[in-house]
Structure 1
Amino acid sequence: MSEPVLPDGVERREFDGTERLATRGDPVYGEPTDGEWRAWNPNRSKLGAMLELGLDTGLAGGETVLYLGAASGTTVSHVADFAGPTYAVEFAARPVRDLLDAADSRDQLFPLLKDARKPETYAHVVESDVDVVIQDVATRGQARVALENGRFLADDGRLLLAVKARSEDVTREPAAVFEAVREDLSEGYEVLEANRLEPYHADHLGIVARPR
């Protein structure tokens, strides 16, 4: 594994004798804390795993972010700790209640109860030319979701995509699923880097891409 390139606002700090990624912010999911710092668990965060595995995410800190598949806020709360305006799209009402709690202490975090497969429903809220689209949506057609939401991404922006093979097609080998998703993505993106997310997440692929 290569040494991860960390954005400003993300550091390696020691928690209970173990060095871990951390951001500054109020705790969200029972993670260990040390003063104002909170541990970032890569076993619960695809983006955290990408950073741990050394993928060059291009994140520097302060970016405008569109986060697709925010769930209850585990990862997007860490993102909002170091990023700029962070739009958090989640389809299910129950986790959005937890997401709202995470946003209480994060003025730059904007929860949206919307379907990431229908970006037209939040196009009036999300600013154009966001710096980063982060996607963790467990559904069929994950490449299509990324392509449809490419409308929000700046020309020099980045897509950080976590592909879940079993959500795409449970009957196929993950390697075949990942290859198909990469081929579909090529309609609108150039893949810069891709890496399996083991040992943190089984049958997941992390992709860093930019618009064509």
Structure 2
Amino acid sequence: MSLPDGVERRSFGGDDEWLATRGEPVYGEPTDGEWRRWDARRSKLGAMFERGMEHGLEGGETVLYLGAAAGTTVSHVADIAGPTYAVEFAARPARDLLEAAEPRPNLFALLKDARSPETYAHVVEPVDAIVQDVATRGQANVALANRRFLREDGRLLLAVKPRSEDVVREPEAVLDEVLETLSEGYAILETRSLEPFHEDHFGVVATRR
């Protein structure tokens, strides 16, 4: 699995190599000149890269990021992508997201609810990729609702947190239900655990049906 253009592995002064992108630091991450470390332990998408998933990203894509939070991952995405639309509902992390967007003219922060894409449909153009990290019940339904923005040949990169769906049942059983619902509008290409970076999380790569 190759990394997208703009993502490299760098040592940052130690023996270990880390994912890295060029850009202004956002969350106190180590830097090496213009490079900033992308820690997969703080990023589901970074973990998908580290786990070798076939993400389909080459760099320069138009991206819709659902669940942008304070901008930790989406700032790295914007470092390597074209127009990047970052949707976050909670006001507190959205303030940090706005700060991350300030030095990135291609990063557009939207204080909206990813479960209601009609509230930002007038802003978001068709995208090459949807990256979703929304820890809420109905994660598959969020992806289905936002499917309208994804180009025919685009990809969904979904981080599934089963404990947000059901804290009692086995994560694998919950994942199966999520995938079943998701398959109503997407063709599932790959599913993989995101451990050891994120316990009880799964990465999913899918395309539009």
Shift of 1:16: 2.7
Seq. identity, %: 74
Match of 2:143 in 1: 146
Match of 2:159 in 1: 162
For the residue of structure 1 that corresponds to 2:92, the secondary structure is helix
Please tell me the residue identity of whatever aligns with 1:138: A
TM-score (norm 2): 0.98
Match of 1:6 in 2: 3
Match of 2:107 in 1: 109
Match of 2:128 in 1: 131
C-alpha distance after superposition, 1:173-194 (max 9, x if no partner): 1000111111111100011011
Count of residues in correspondence between the two structures: 208
Q: What are the within-5 Å matches in structure 2 for residues 39-50 of structure 1? A: 39-50=37-48
C-alpha distance after superposition, 1:97-141 (max 9, x if no partner): 1001101110000000000000000000001x2100000000000
CA distance in 2, matches of 1:46, 1:173: 20
Q: What are the within-5 Å matches in structure 2 for residues 40-79 of structure 1? A: 40-79=38-77
CA distance in 2, matches of 1:32, 1:12: 13
Identify unmatched segments of 5+ residues in structure 1. Answer: none
Runs of 4+ in structure 1 off by over 3 angstroms are: none
Identify unmatched segments of 5+ residues in structure 2. Answer: none
Q: Considering only aligned residues, what root-mean-square deviation do their CA atoms show, in Å?
A: 0.6
Q: What are the within-5 Å matches in structure 2 for residues 183-194 of structure 1? A: 183-194=180-191
Shift of 1:5: 1.6
Match of 1:100 in 2: 98
CA distance in 2, matches of 1:16, 1:166: 37
Please tell me the residue identity of whatever aligns with 1:191: I
